[in-house]
Structure 1
Amino acid sequence: MHFGKSGRSKRHIRGKPVLLGGVAAAVAIAVSLAPTGAVAAGGDSAKAGKSAATEAKVAGETLGNYDARTEPSVKPALQRAAALKAAQPSVKSYRKGLGVEGIVAIDGLTGTPKQVARTDGFLTGASKAGAESIARSYVKKNAAAFGLSAADVDRLTLRKTYTDVEGTRHLSFIQTVNGVTVFGQGLKAHVAKDGRLVSIDGSPVAGLPTSAAAPKLTPTQARGAAVEDAFAKPKAAKATTAKNASKTTEFAGGDQAKLVQFKAPSGLRTAWQTITSPSNDQMFMHVIDAATGRVLYRRDLIQHDSAKVVENYPGAPRGGKFKNVDLPAKWLPKNSPRLAGNPAHVWSDLNDDNLAQPNEEITKAAPRSFTFPFTRFPLADPDCTAFVCTWDSTVPNSWETNRKSSGTQLFYYISKFHDHLAKKPISFTREAGNFEAVDGDAVEGNDLDGANTAAGLPDGNHINNANFGTPPDGTSPRMQMYLFRNPAVPGDPWVAAMGSYAADIVYHEYGHGLSNRLVVDADGISTLGSAQAGAMGEAWSDWYAMDFLNNEGYERDTKAEGELRVGQWVGAGRNQIREQPVDCKVGSTSPNCAGTAGGGPGGFTYGDYGKISGGPEVHSDGEIWVQTLWDLREEIGTKKAESLVTRAMELSPGNPSFLDMRNSILQADQVVNRGKAHKAIWKVFAQRGMGYFAGSVDGDDQAPVESFALPPKANTPTGTLSGTVTDSDAGTPVAGAVVAFGGHNSGFGGDYAAVTAADGTYTISGIFAGTYPKVFSRGPGYEVVVATKSISNGANTANWQLRRDWAALAGGATVVDTNDDSGAPFGCGAAAMFDMSQTNGWSAVAEHVGPGPLDIEPRWVILELPTAIDVSEVTINPSNTCGDAGSASTSKFTFETSVDGTTWVATSGDFGVDDRKATPVALSSGTADVKFLRYTMLSTQVEDLGGTCPGAFSGCDWVDSTEIAVYGAP
């Protein structure tokens, strides 16, 4: 079938994200899956009997999270809008009034603050008024700074309010259009028990209409689009739709759909919010455009941990002996025939269908008894001598020996940790969104998940793993615990263990439920979607687990360093789940804290972000955060740390950076502790590189800059920064360029920004003296330049030279023609190749033509430059884009130049397996007086990855490239 310009098939229209403009993530410990764009050993997408989703996973074809509101191609414009808003006199005056540690962080999408707070005090004084009145009155009083009218404030609907253990009232206001919730926006306010306003966050939308477009898609069609987007085929399921404005729909099997309004840069879109499980080990939240079926938002609710991965674990020096305990009625009803109580329902999900068959339930050993024998497997293996092995990976069904014991252990750990988190000072209660059957969301514990998927043994998708899927409050999460030691991999380095016996792993997984239920938007949806937020999610889970085990005495933290290793048992005492133990200090010389080549020896600091494992990775980068929190625990004590870390989650802005969460911990100290630990907190974070002048543009910044400085005092001198922005090739001034101080959009020192005049000049005033690591300049058609600037008292000068990308549409280039613009309605057309984004790009139909199954019809685009130039350099990023997986990247290509659009000079090449980089393309000729470019994609990377078509590879449907940049002089 030929699609070309005639449009995409119905299936692919629904499956494609659109350029307009995360729910809670769960987490897993997994080492068996290949990374995106790679092929797992033995991976074969054509094996019979596998679902498309399973084939895709085996092949390494995993889909990442996606949000049209923060699509990379629009992010520079949003950052510029935020900087301009922050520079407005009303906002600057308001921010200045909050003091040195005031926070006014602007959301470029809405033009409203995503967080307003102080880390050294409160926004208002004490009051006896109601919490809702306090919040609404404050926003109305500061309407100019918030960008909301009185009518906007009046239209906010209080969805939920609860009071935490310290007496702080947390209010969540949603926004609606004709009764339908605006997705991911709204406003949250936090009011201390004495009536002082702690902070406000949420990015509300100003000037909402009173009505919206009716949906064209049915909820069933929206569910189908969401499932197909995950490489799966939707199964028929009975749907029950409520008679409410949101048309809330429940499907047999647990899938859900409801109407929302989605705020995009182009305006509001009527859409369907869905929660689906395309396969048994998947759970996604989507927002599907209700008019076109486009994917506007995708969040994988089960994030797989790449792990190096009985009160502790069998055979542990402390807490390793089995003992008889009571299962109290608050956990399990008296005379219950199975392990199903208020905290959890646990069964052995041997076939991984997420359903409890009668033979998979854990039934009683005797009346009122779930006491089962435990058998150690004395295998001829050094690891099984040093550690206890609980099954034999070479013998089918050997897991049956300890199956009921393992399931009972999982139920015990879940119930015990539930109670621990619910108690003071953590207080993860029903009101806060915990997991209990009385609220319809007890944990579904799937023990030995997939143990019987390959003739009595687990297959490659059900080994060395664990995960936890966290939907919003009111829907049960799912914890899947796996066997360790892969029977198909000789020399597999894991102990032959059952994950449910490992307290640290179970507590880690449960911890994801805590963080994803507390760091939420006004509608209760998790906002742990940014890179740094994901890293903190891993770190919190490790921290709460090790904190609890230490408090109970089963793990001990002495003055020695490098003692507390996550995954001690399953990793056979080696650093397999994490690079280092959590108690490694900065500068440590302990052999247990040897670090990594990228992160260096000793404990990690903020400057190690993205370097620890050779690139950004949530588990490795999370080690920075968990080690910092462990320092905080030692500095202020475990109970105070538990209180502040948890309260900070409730005060956090959405998609926080490490610096945002540092600020929230400082705020929590004001609320809980009257600011008594303020200096100690700053000391701890400054020692880890998260001091006052640390720089992070936002939570997605994967190259933050560290600072070890404490905050400046209130009387710190201020200076000005002035200069000129010029074109690096032509030497002419650049008008309309932004100069701004990145990394301080959390609010410290202000979000200083200015726009250049016609002569390229600018001035920014009122800057606290100090060194700022991410000052940047950006102009239309010019690449961003980031530099470290030291500001002294008085006048400072910084001139900027920006490099022009002549292929950028923002600089005047024009797409003349293409033979496939089918992705244009989705923001994935040929023009996206020239938007100066190294993530968003062109996705065309990969129509396969003979003679081989991987040969595709060439897809080309012609670009006219704004003026003829002498080309000095060309770079092409051939990577997958627009929601596709790695195999859709371009492999073979041609690049041609022309002075008149008729006669062409060609260069051919083969990118092979690319690594998402802008790759220089050498031009031997055709570089003078170039006015036209033609780029042709000839093949995808399916063959480079060892795959074939047809199959569950993105490259069997699409061929992608991300960006072309052309440099030179007129």
Structure 2
Amino acid sequence: LNAALAFARSQLGVQDNGFTVARTYTTESLGIMHVYLDQNVAGIKVQNGGVMVNIGSDGRVVSYEDGSYKGRDASKMILWTGASSSRFVKPNVAFNTLANYIKIQVDVSKLILTSVPATARKKVYYVLKGVPSVHKDVRVEQFYVHTRAGVLEATWKFSVRIGTHSYRAHISADGTRVVALYDKSSSSTSYNVIKANSASPLSSDRTLIPFQEDKVVWPEGWHSYGGDGVDYDTSGNNVLAMVQEKDASGKETETMAESASGQFDFPLDLQKDPRLHKDAGITNLFYINNMEHGLLFRYGFNEAAGNFQEINFSGKGEEKDAVWAYAQDAGIPNNAYFTLEPDGERSEMHVGPSSNGQQLRDGSLDNQVIIHEYSHGLSDRLTSGSHRDDCLITTEAMGMAEGWSDFFAILQTAKSTDRRDTPRDYGTYLHFKHPRRYMYTTGKKLNPTAYGYILGSNDKHYIGNVWTTMLWEVYWNLVDALGYTEAYDRPDLSKGNTLAMLLVINAFKLQPCNPTFTEARNAIIESEFRITKGAHHCRIWAGFAARGLGLKAKM
């Protein structure tokens, strides 16, 4: 504890009279003590001013987070004891602003406000009685919030449980504005999107899908703390989804989709300019990125392995590297890309709009393209460790990176009615056609590719086309033997499609930096031996051999 406090004082500027120790505990398996500090101003807590310091058993700082307010400009401080306090109102008056915002009917003149005296562990707070339909009386406390505009603002914090909602709301102390509001009932959010197992609007209409809680992979849901009156927006621990556009002055701004209720249900007309339905595209981009995060977490791309998260709840891996995903990037028409940085540094996904001269489309509605781009982050982070960014840079390795991304895109959008000779395309909503030379099928009339096809090629997408075809042969050998499950969101060793996905993901962790086709093949074979003890050894070899990458393959 002393080491954490010393670090906070010397490196973060924490002063003893402005912070209190909120909690400490030790995770024995990690050998780390977790120390949490609350910032306060004259004894009143700053809601989002917390400091976290993780100390190893050797007394060294493992990681930290500093959310404290550091402003010194008095004009940006609206204090409980300041000049503005004469305008402040009582909680029952301020509650009217919240009631109007969350659309509940209440007669504030009939509300009864009582105070609860302070104890040794808790400061004084208030209880608001008479609010209709709440599960229990509303709790009210004095707080501060520091906003995105750099203002430290006095607020009344209301805790309200009503219906399926559990609101925490900060209303300005003068009762005029919602400063921040969030809903701790994570099941209240929903998203009108293309289902994750559907390729695009060409294969499926949008569906309003509620958030499915999973405390292992999404301990605090998908949305971060909302400030400046925003209840929910498309930012969170795993991804920040937005469009970049210019304001009236010509300055670049980043705009997220926002929802007061948590219902991300925006209009969409596929026949009109995508810019008219940007919120629908941003929402789909946000949803699929989060779904990929959860899916791959369960398959082993977790915090320790170097996945993309702002906060790593396990204390493993590097933090502050959620994906920044940009929808409708006008600078890359008919295209998309992923810029990968090492663990702990921000990576970006960009998806452009597209046009065939007659119709405009929003690439952020093409799930296969989003999966493809996210999978670049997967393969790059897991090959030779997430601290590297130079292990898929040779021509052959870059080609396989494109192939892995296509493989995950078609695997996750496969159907139970598919057969091994069913031709599969990729990214046709964004590109208006299958952008690869050959369709994905084990049928050699439509796709005759083999190992020798990459000889002399410098086209990474063509090389990837060959590699995906090989993986597709392996996939179908496993599916034919074990069957297919639509519940691919968790690894199931008894089903062919989920086993194939698990084998390829774990092979990333075994293959060398800048692998060749044969080295990547060998890593998959080793992955299968480690997981299923060679039960499918022959099926995997047969899949590769069908495309010229058998035991005696040479280039």
Tell me the TM-score normalised to structure 1 length: 0.32
The residue number in structure 2 matching 1:434 is 307
Native 8 Å contact 1:347 1:356 kept in 2: no
The residue number in structure 2 matching 1:558 is 419
The residue number in structure 2 matching 1:369 is 263
Pairwise CA distance, 1:514: 0.1
Q: Does 1:417 align with 2:298?
A: no
TM-superposition CA deviations, 1:525-564 (whole Å, max 9, x none): 44111111111100111111111112xx4x85225431x1
The residue number in structure 1 matching 2:211 is 326
* Structure 1 residues 571 and 523, CA gap change in structure 2 (3 angstroms): closer
The residue number in structure 1 matching 2:243 is 348
In structure 2, what is the Cα distance between the partners aligned to 1:338 and 1:356? 21
Q: Does 1:403 align with 2:278?
A: yes
What does 1:639-718 align with in structure 2 at a 5 Å threshold?
639-695=498-554, 704=555
What SS is found at the alignment partner of 2:264?
A: coil
Q: Does 1:448 align with 2:305?
A: no
Q: Does 1:609 align with 2:454?
A: yes
* Structure 1 residues 503 and 621, CA gap change in structure 2 (3 angstroms): same
What SS is found at the alignment partner of 1:445?
A: strand
User: What amino acid sits opposite 1:669 in the alignment?
Assistant: E
User: What amino acid sits opposite 2:526 in the alignment?
Assistant: Q
In structure 1, what is the Cα distance between the partners aligned to 2:337 and 2:358? 17
The residue number in structure 2 matching 1:579 is 437
Q: Does 1:520 align with 2:384?
A: yes
Q: Does 1:472 align with 2:336?
A: no
* Structure 1 residues 623 and 677, CA gap change in structure 2 (3 angstroms): same
Q: 1:570 aligns with which of 416, 426, 430?
A: 430
What SS is found at the alignment partner of 1:644?
A: helix
* Structure 1 residues 357 and 330, CA gap change in structure 2 (3 angstroms): farther
What does 1:207-356 align with in structure 2 at a 5 Å threshold?
310-311=194-195, 312=198, 315-317=201-203, 319-326=204-211, 329-333=220-224, 336-350=231-245
* Structure 1 residues 481 and 579, CA gap change in structure 2 (3 angstroms): same
Name whichever structure is richer in helix by fraction.
2
TM-superposition CA deviations, 1:429-487 (whole Å, max 9, x none): 111111111121100011112x3xxxxxxxxx4311111111000112101111101xx
* Structure 1 residues 539 and 667, CA gap change in structure 2 (3 angstroms): same
What SS is found at the alignment partner of 2:263?
A: coil
TM-superposition CA deviations, 1:189-240 (whole Å, max 9, x none): xxxxxxxxxxxxxxxxxxxxxxxxxxxxxxxxxxxxxxxxxxxxxxxxxxxx
Native 8 Å contact 1:603 1:627 kept in 2: no
Native 8 Å contact 2:335 2:431 kept in 1: no
Pairwise CA distance, 1:495: 5.2
* Structure 1 residues 462 and 666, CA gap change in structure 2 (3 angstroms): closer
Compute the RMSD of aligned alpha carbons. Answer: 2.6
In structure 1, what is the Cα distance between the partners aligned to 2:262 and 2:499? 40
Structure 1, unmatched stretches of 5+, are: 1-309, 378-389, 392-398, 452-460, 486-491, 594-601, 696-703, 705-970
User: What amino acid sits opposite 2:245 in the alignment?
Assistant: L
What does 1:490-509 align with in structure 2 at a 5 Å threshold?
492=356, 496-509=360-373
Pairwise CA distance, 1:690: 0.9
Pairwise CA distance, 1:693: 2.2
Higher relative CO (CA 8 A, sep ≥ 6), structure 1 or 2? 1
Native 8 Å contact 2:223 2:232 kept in 1: no
Pairwise CA distance, 1:620: 0.8
In structure 2, what is the Cα distance between the partners aligned to 1:640 and 1:427? 13
In structure 1, what is the Cα distance between the partners aligned to 2:375 and 2:246? 26
Q: 1:529 aligns with which of 390, 393, 397?
A: 393
In structure 2, what is the Cα distance between the partners aligned to 1:337 and 1:569? 29
In structure 1, what is the Cα distance between the partners aligned to 2:295 and 2:358? 29
In structure 1, what is the Cα distance between the partners aligned to 2:459 and 2:358? 21
Native 8 Å contact 2:327 2:351 kept in 1: yes
User: What amino acid sits opposite 1:470 in the alignment?
Assistant: L
User: What amino acid sits opposite 1:373 in the alignment?
Assistant: P
What does 1:722-761 align with in structure 2 at a 5 Å threshold?
none
Structure 2, unmatched stretches of 5+, are: 1-193, 214-219, 312-318, 479-495
Native 8 Å contact 2:208 2:265 kept in 1: no
The residue number in structure 1 matching 2:476 is 634
Q: 2:351 aligns with which of 450, 470, 481?
A: 481
Native 8 Å contact 2:510 2:527 kept in 1: yes
What SS is found at the alignment partner of 2:337?
A: strand
In structure 2, what is the Cα distance between the partners aligned to 1:314 and 1:686? 33
* Structure 1 residues 434 and 523, CA gap change in structure 2 (3 angstroms): closer
Matched pairs, number: 324
Pairwise CA distance, 1:410: 0.5
What SS is found at the alignment partner of 1:694?
A: coil
Native 8 Å contact 1:463 1:484 kept in 2: yes
Pairwise CA distance, 1:414: 0.4
Native 8 Å contact 2:281 2:364 kept in 1: yes
Pairwise CA distance, 1:635: 1.0
* Structure 1 residues 581 and 493, CA gap change in structure 2 (3 angstroms): farther
Pairwise CA distance, 1:358: 5.8
Q: Does 1:621 align with 2:453?
A: no
Tell me the TM-score normalised to structure 2 length: 0.55
* Structure 1 residues 405 and 669, CA gap change in structure 2 (3 angstroms): same
The residue number in structure 2 matching 1:30 is none
The residue number in structure 2 matching 1:927 is none
Identity between Structure 1 and Structure 2 (%):
26
In structure 2, what is the Cα distance between the partners aligned to 1:513 and 1:628? 21
In structure 1, what is the Cα distance between the partners aligned to 2:408 and 2:200? 21
User: What amino acid sits opposite 1:652 in the alignment?
Assistant: Q
